[in-house]
């Protein structure tokens, strides 16, 4: 465990109960993400990384679409997949 995390954990008992509850929820969420990532196959990890790169490139390029445009595009993809029997 790194020193910063260890120091924070040592101080948690001095926090108000509500803050302790938030900390517990945050750590539980992190733990779940770690569990899911550890369960991925190398192939799934590669797909996830490729998707992350695609998203980052799209963000860098910019542009904006309405919710309706996004919904229409998704519907088009589903229709194409159905026509192709996927």
SS (H, E, C) 40-64: CCHHHHHHHHHHHHHHHHHHHHCCC
pLDDT number for residue 80: 86
pLDDT number for residue 56: 87
pLDDT number for residue 59: 81
Q: How many residues does the chain have?
A: 86
Q: What is the mean pLDDT of each run of 10 residues along the chain (86 residues)?
A: 95 97 97 93 92 88 83 91 80
Q: Is this model's pTM higher than 0.75 or not?
A: no
């Amino acid at each position: 465990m790194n020193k910063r995390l260890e120091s924070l954990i040592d101080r948690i008992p001095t926090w108000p109960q509500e803050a302790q509850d938030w900390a517990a929820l945050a750590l539980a969420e992190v733990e779940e993400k770690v569990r899911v990532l550890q369960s991925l196959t190398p192939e799934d990890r590669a797909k996830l990384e490729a998707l992350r790169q695609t998203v980052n490139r799209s963000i860098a390029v910019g542009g904006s679409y309405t919710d309706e445009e996004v919904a229409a595009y998704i519907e088009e993809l589903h229709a194409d997949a159905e026509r192709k029997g996927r």
